[in-house]
Amino acid sequence: MSAVDESALGRFGRRARHGLRVVTTPALWREQVRFLRHGPSPTAVPVHDARFPPTPWRPLPTGAAAVCNICTWQGDAFLGDRHVEAQLCPACGASARDRFSFLCFIARTPPARRLRVTETSPRLDAAYRRAMQRWFRYTATDFDESSHRGTVRVDLQDVSLAPASVDVLLSAHVLEHVPDTERALAGIRRTLAPGGRLYLQVPVQNGVTAPPSTPELHEDRTPVFWRFGFDLADRLRAHGLTTTVLVTAPMADAIAGGDAAPLDGRGSGWDVPAMVAAARGIGAQSVLDRAAAERLGLWHSYQFVVFEAVVPR
């Protein structure tokens, strides 16, 4: 149902739920004061955008060489190199890693209305955020606000969101910039509701987590404190989260067979043999076969890893 089709009763119920959430969530108070003083921001009104479908729960369309699972774009090819940070969608700007993280979330989360979805430092634009607001009870967060702007400012080392207030937390390429990983994971665990889900994407380029050997900055000049390995799965489990490592089929096959050679990661910056060796027995599961992954622009399987962590009910 679009905002135009919403009934008066439905609109009243939605506003009442939002008001209750604002009153009970101190982290939202500053944003509400800003709204009362200056009116809504351009990203605050969930206006329909034809690029985005009515629901995110839908099968991939057939018959196109390339397809974006976030918006409705289909075409010959994505833009840019065959790299996790490239392969940009010409319509919505989603990168390969954006599409993989979103696919893991939608493929693994049962369809539900009014899911409370929070995303840390989303890199996509206002149209994407409006679509997320149509699909879910969506909150965008950020900390330093140097490259991204969120509705709420949240420090993952001191999560200020109310306990059990989030059904799904999407966090892509943020945790490696947080000095105290254990404190961040404890805060995330506290914030997730029973049955809540974390879809955590970090650059996994080694077998075992270690700090960078030399100072490392990403493009937004944010320092990298950790280069994560597959041992992150056990650290999530230590916080009481049922954890599955989500990959595409070629990576899952390499892990099962203990053979990194078919992945051919030579010269890529990824230590693929160490990754494959460390992932044995870690609980890796394929969410896409090779053909579907390539249609989404996910060309090098070792570059795509999402940790799914679920709070027991």
Has residue 5 got a pLDDT over 50? no
As a whole number of angstroms, the distance between CA 188 and CA 191 comes to 5
Output DSSP code: residue 169.
E
**What pLDDT is attached to residue 7?**
55
Kindly report the average pLDDT of the chain as a whole number. 86
**What are residue 170's DSSP bridge partners?**
119, 199
The arithmetic mean of pLDDT across residues 278-305, rounded, is 96
In the predicted model, is pLDDT for residue 139 greater than 80? yes
pLDDT for res 156: 73
- Tell me the mean pLDDT in the region 8-30: 67
- For 229, phi then psi, to 5°, come to -120, -175
Q: What is the mean pLDDT of residues 250-269?
A: 95
For residues 169 and 199, is the Cβ–Cβ distance under 8 A?
A: yes
114: closest CA among 43, 184, 193, 41?
193
In the predicted model, what is the mean pLDDT of residues 123-135? 92
Place 1 in a pLDDT band, splitting at 50, 70 and 90: very low
Q: What is the spatial distance between Cα 190 and Cα 23, in angstroms, rounded to a whole number?
A: 20
Q: Looking at residue 15, what is its pLDDT?
A: 63
| 206-221 confidence digits (pLDDT tens) | 999 999 888 778 666 7
Please give the pLDDT value at position 6: 41
Coil, strand or helix: which one is 253? helix
pLDDT in tens, 46-80: 456 778 999 999 998 887 789 999 999 999 999 99
Q: What is the pLDDT of residues 84-121, one digit of tens each?
A: 999 999 999 999 999 999 999 999 999 998 899 999 98
Q: Give the model's pLDDT for residue 147.
A: 46
List 245's β-bridge partners, or say none. 284, 307
* Domain layout of the chain by residue ranges: 40-310
Q: Stretch 249-271: mean pLDDT, rounded?
A: 95
The reported pLDDT for the residue numbered 30 is: 66
Q: What pTM does this model have?
A: 0.83
Per-residue pLDDT at 311 = 98
Do residues 313 and 252 lie in contact, with contact meaning Cβ atoms separated by under 8 Å? no
Tokens describing residue 203: 């650059």
Higher pLDDT pick, 147 / 77: 77
Q: Please say whether the beta carbons of 212 and 227 come within 8 A.
A: yes
Query: Which pLDDT score, from 0 to 100, does residue 25 have?
Result: 75
Q: Please state the rounded mean pLDDT for residues 156-182.
A: 89
Task: Tell whether the model's pLDDT for residue 256 goes beyond 90.
Answer: yes
**Residues 6+ away with beta carbon under 8 Å from 34:** none
Count CB-CB contacts under 10 A for residue 194.
10
In this model, does residue 253 exceed pLDDT 90? Answer: yes
Amino acid identity of 59? P
What's the CA angle centered on 169, arms 131 and 304, to 5 degrees? Answer: 90
Residue linked to tokens 């090819």: 77
Highest CATH level, class, for 40-310: alpha beta
